[in-house]
Structure 1
Amino acid sequence: MITMPTTHRVLWMALAVLGLLATACNSSPPSDADTAATRTIEVTMRDIAFEPTNITVADGETVRVQFTNEGTIAHDAFVGDEAAQDAHEEEMAEMADMDHGTDDSDADGVTVQPGEAAELFVTGGPDGTLIGCHQPGHYASGMVITVQPT
């Protein structure tokens, strides 16, 4: 039987404990938006199309929008009014031109690779909120969801 010296056993135990602590510290509590979401709306991303193209959200209601990319290319979803969409379209085009990629993952947007899923939280407000895909050419081709107030 092969036995490990005591120092090696202690080192391995310490590494195991650190691994468990790191895992525990990595889990974050639910965000305010997550706990405030009243319902989930499923959206399918296909190549240059969202399904559905219209969703309804009551004024002040927060919904979880679950995006599933069933297409063959990456898509993103960015929440904002028309002015924000136009500004974001320019920003994403500049990023693509600078070869920085076109990842749109932040509080107002997500990038979803083919076969993957992601979520955003949308709070209903005044008319004019849109969710647009800003991969090159997609927004201009009509890959937009209209968020209609109720």
Structure 2
Amino acid sequence: MINPVRAGGLRAGGAVRPLLFVAATLLLLGCEAGPVPVTPLPVPGSSDAPREVNLITKDYAYLPNELDLVPGETVLLHVVNGGLEVHEAVIGDASVQDAWEVAEAATVGSPPGPTPMVSVPPEVAGLRIVVRSGERLDVLWTVPADAHDGPAWIVGCHIPGHFARGMQAPVRWVTPGAAP
């Protein structure tokens, strides 16, 4: 009787090793890093043609993790809650964030249900959008032209405990024609 392993018919690893080598080589070549594409700078929106901006809330994070805005532009902000809890997007500097954090802290211990109504003085209100789980709200907003002159701005969620869990993202002021 002829042993197929010794006769060259099915040698252990004989035909498999070259195929594995070829597959591994092709896989590595397919993973070669090319140049990283550059994100294009936003074209500033106007009242006649607002720039559409998506902001997605997740449970304790925002996507994108940095919000690009052009001072003085008009944006149509689409805020989508992709999380399981109620979230908000408060856009403004630290004084705005602090005001909403204090206002929302007063709701701790409220019975389950809708988020209680809270408010802050107009001079520290910033922009606030509250979205329930699965909801999308669209807001037409003109970014203050002098916003980039003062302290840094962020987007924050002040539903009790959310900001402390890291639900915040910086606003990046973009100048058209300059590198982000």
Deviation for aligned residue 1:102 = 4.2
CA distance in 1, matches of 2:160, 2:154: 18
* Cα deviation code 1:110-148 (max 9, x no counterpart): 211111111342515216121111111111122112111
The answer (yes or no) to whether the contact 1:75–1:133 under 8 Å persists in 2 is yes
Show the counterpart of 1:63: 75
* 3-state SS of paired residue (1:95): coil
Gaps of 5+ in 1: 1-33
Deviation for aligned residue 1:70 = 1.2
Which has the greater radius of gyration? 2
Counterpart of 1:112 (choices 131, 136, 142) is 131
Matched, 1:82 2:94: yes
* 3-state SS of paired residue (2:100): helix
CA distance in 2, matches of 1:44, 1:103: 22
The answer (yes or no) to whether the contact 1:60–1:123 under 8 Å persists in 2 is yes
> Partner amino acid for 1:71?
G
The answer (yes or no) to whether the contact 1:44–1:68 under 8 Å persists in 2 is yes
Deviation for aligned residue 1:35 = 3.6
Matched, 1:145 2:157: no
Q: 1:66 to 1:101 in 2, by over 3 A?
A: same
Gaps of 5+ in 2: 1-45, 120-124, 175-180
RMSD, matched Cα: 2.9
The answer (yes or no) to whether the contact 1:44–1:51 under 8 Å persists in 2 is yes
* 3-state SS of paired residue (1:111): strand
The number of residue pairs the alignment matches comes to 118
Structure with bigger helix share is: 1
CA distance in 1, matches of 2:53, 2:87: 17
Percent of matched pairs sharing the same residue: 29
Matched, 1:49 2:61: yes
TM-score, with normalisation over the residues of structure 1?
0.66
Output aligned runs, 1:20-31, within 5 Å: none
The answer (yes or no) to whether the contact 1:78–1:85 under 8 Å persists in 2 is yes
TM-score, with normalisation over the residues of structure 2?
0.56
